[in-house]
Chain A
Amino acid sequence: EVQLVESGGGLVKPGGSLRLSCAASGFTFSSYSMNWVRQAPGKGLEWVSSISSSSSYIYYADSVKGRFTISRDNAKNSLYLQMNSLRAEDTAVYYCARDRFMVQGALSWFDPWGQGTLVTVSS
């Protein structure tokens, strides 16, 4: 069974840092691009970042560019999101989601999704 399990969320003060992890199982992790998508409380979905299977291609939403860093370890079947200089507006459930392709692109869709991990930025 394909499974994605996020961890690392929690309460952090504005300006602080947090590192999210996503453990993948049930598929060949190194063959797929991966994504982070977030959902603020009561709001819609927002794509955050994407990394290709070999980490060659990395993209960020403008809202997190320069503050967040996506990475992966194919040997550990794991995806990461390092979040620095956190702001109140970063408060959200963060989902990791598998891309359809080895190299993400205009045709990409996201399936499956993990259960999400909540990040709360508050003083």
Chain B
Amino acid sequence: QSVLTQPPSVSGAPGQRVTISCTGSSSNIGAGYDVHWYQQLPGTAPKLLIYGNSNRPSGVPDRFSGSKSGTSASLAITGLQAEDEADYYCQSYDSSLSGNWVFGGGTKLTVL
């Protein structure tokens, strides 16, 4: 059971917009800690997609955007492309006794 909750799967047709939610609690996202997002293409290592809630590293297309509000965060992907099919993970910091840096369970994006 992950500390941050993501939907197991989302899907969309090419060109469409999809969003992936990441729900936390008062000891992580709700406490004001930043949320970061990673993309893991099949058979590869995770890659940083969004840092500090809404910032894109250089090289990441502006089709990817992040936001945060209250105890949740979201990753939005517009103009879906076949190569966006991947697993997406959110990550934050948790101030509870049980852990430090925490991940969501991951969301599998399928491009129809």
Interface residues of A (CB under 8 A from B): 35, 37, 44-47, 50, 59, 61-62, 95, 97, 100, 105-116
Residues in chain B near residue A47, CB distance under 8 A? 99-103
Tier of interface size on chain B:
20 to 34
Interface string of B39-53 (1 = CB under 8 A from A): 000001111100110
- Is B24 an interface residue, CB under 8 A from the partner? no
Partner of A111, one of B34, B51, B98, B105: B51
Residues of B near A37 (CB, < 8 A) are: 46, 103
Enumerate chain B residues within 8 angstroms of A116, measured Cβ to Cβ: 45
Inter-chain contacts of B33 with A (CB < 8 A): 106-107
Interface centre among B33, B34, B46 (most CB of A within 10 A): B46
Give chain A residues whose Cβ lies under 8 Å from the Cβ of B100: 47, 50, 59, 61
- Asked, given contacts A50-B100, A61-B99, whether A45 binds B51 with beta carbons under 8 Å apart, the answer is no
B64 close to chain A: CB less than 8 A: no
Residue of A nearest to B51 (CB): A109
Chain B interface residues (CB < 8 Å from chain A): 2, 33-34, 36, 38, 44-48, 51-52, 57, 89, 91, 93, 95, 98-106
Sample of 4 further A-B pairs with CB below 8 A, known A47-B102, A113-B47: A45-B89, A47-B101, A50-B100, A62-B98
A114 in contact with B57 (CB, 8 Å): no
The CA-CA distance from A100 to B47 in the complex, in Å, is 14
Once bound together, how far apart are the Cα atoms of A22 and B38, in whole Å? 21
Given A108-B101, A111-B57, residue A45 in contact with residue B46 (CB < 8 A)? yes
